[in-house]
Amino acid sequence: MSDDFEITPLVVAAAGGDQAAWGEIVSRFSPLLVSVIRGFRLTPSEIEDIAQEVWLRLVEHLGDLKEPRALPKWIITIARRVALRYVQRKRETQPLEPDWQQPADDDNADPATGLLRQERQEAVLAGLAELPAKHRELLLLLVADPPLSYVEIAKRLDLPVGSIGPTRARALERLRKTAAMGTYQGNDAGGDEHDAATLG
């Protein structure tokens, strides 16, 4: 695949049976998919099961996408629907166990703030999928947990340590200009540091 990401030919190729194109879609959009499902506070095995169901649905309907650039939105919508159905079924089978769901990170948090944070994270992850591999990998390594030193990142990406800062700046600028971030309302708040923090 070319480093300059074009979603339309990628979707067309994958719909036509190109396994490399399908693998590229899964690689680029898995962080987005997992992020959406994690919002429902499920176990790792449940997240994996739901992700597999979403990928299966995408395989079945890839050729039906009228606008391939809408793929990130499609993934978000279907992931929410599948996860919500799973949660509803789980509640029905455990009516006397209200503690099945893990507590929220901040029980006093304003729900609107949490929703805005989730929408922003989804936009950033969808934008990451549009970046060249070098930029995407660098931004993800910069927000790794536990944190990595510039020396470790440089070694992993085979880059000079001194080039990490300028490359990071270019990657964040490119991220802001992606279609996913362009359609996100309110993406002017926070700047470079907030965008990078959202990746975690």
Domains in the chain: how many in total? 2
Whether 1 and 87 map to the same domain: the answer is: yes
Whether 16 and 95 map to the same domain: the answer is: yes
> Taking residues 49-63, what's their average pLDDT?
92
Give the domain-ending residue among 65, 84, 102.
102
Give the CATH number of the domain where residue 36 resides.
1.10.1740.10
- The string of pLDDT tens digits covering residues 76-121 is 999 999 999 998 888 877 654 444 444 444 445 555 666 677 778 7
Q: Structural domain of residue 54, as residue ranges?
A: 1-102
State the pLDDT at residue 54: 94
Give the domain-ending residue among 38, 69, 102.
102
Whether 33 and 76 map to the same domain: the answer is: yes
Which residue would you say has higher pLDDT here, 61 or 102?
Answer: 61
CB atoms within 10 A of CB 80: 16
CB atoms within 10 A of CB 131: 22
Whether 5 and 95 map to the same domain: the answer is: yes
- The string of pLDDT tens digits covering residues 138-154 is 988 888 778 889 899 99
Q: How far apart are CA 88 and CA 81, in angstroms?
A: 11
State the pLDDT at residue 118: 75
Whether 116 and 31 map to the same domain: the answer is: no
> 83 vs 4, 64, 97, 101, CA distance in Å?
32, 22, 19, 13
State the pLDDT at residue 109: 53
Whether 12 and 95 map to the same domain: the answer is: yes
> Taking residues 50-74, what's their average pLDDT?
90
CB 27 within 8 A of CB 133: no
CB 82 within 8 A of CB 53: yes
Whether 11 and 97 map to the same domain: the answer is: yes
State the pLDDT at residue 51: 94
Label residue 197 by pLDDT band (50, 70, 90): very low
CB 124 within 8 A of CB 181: yes
Give the domain-ending residue among 70, 102, 134.
102
